[in-house]
Structure 1
Amino acid sequence: MPITLDPEKLKIVIEHRFNYKVCRNCGAKNPPEAVKCRRCGSRNLRLKKFKSK
């Protein structure tokens, strides 16, 4: 069953796959509430980009 047909499952998938921060220096994944990178300690973080169709 495609996930696109069930809006509740789609909401869960989007939150799970796109709700994190990425370090601009080393590219490490960090939790969404992170202030600094877990790998290199940089404070240069951004949210994961998400393009809706």
Structure 2
Amino acid sequence: MYATPIMDPFKRTLAQKHRLYMKICRDCGARNASSATKCRKCRSKNL
């Protein structure tokens, strides 16, 4: 099985926002929200 492409432009941009645009912590490697200022896992500000 394969995933069908998302045809709705709003849903496509929403999915891209959640899947592609994120900050990675340089200390522990955790994925954080794009609006994060501190890491959710180790509380470091090194994003």
Q: What does residue 37 of structure 2 align with?
A: 35
AA paired with 1:2?
A: P
| Greater share of strand | 1
* Count of aligned pairs between the two proteins: 43
Structure with the bigger RCO (C-alpha within 8 Å, sep 6+) is: 1
Q: What does residue 5 of structure 2 align with?
A: 2
**Inter-partner Cα distance in structure 1 for 2:16 and 2:35:** 17
**Inter-partner Cα distance in structure 2 for 1:42 and 1:17:** 22
| More deviation, 36-45/8-17 | 8-17
Deviations 1:1-43 (A, max 9, x none): 434xx37143232112112211011011112211111111211
AA paired with 2:5?
A: P
- TM-score normalised to structure 2 length: 0.63
What's the Cα RMSD here?
A: 1.8
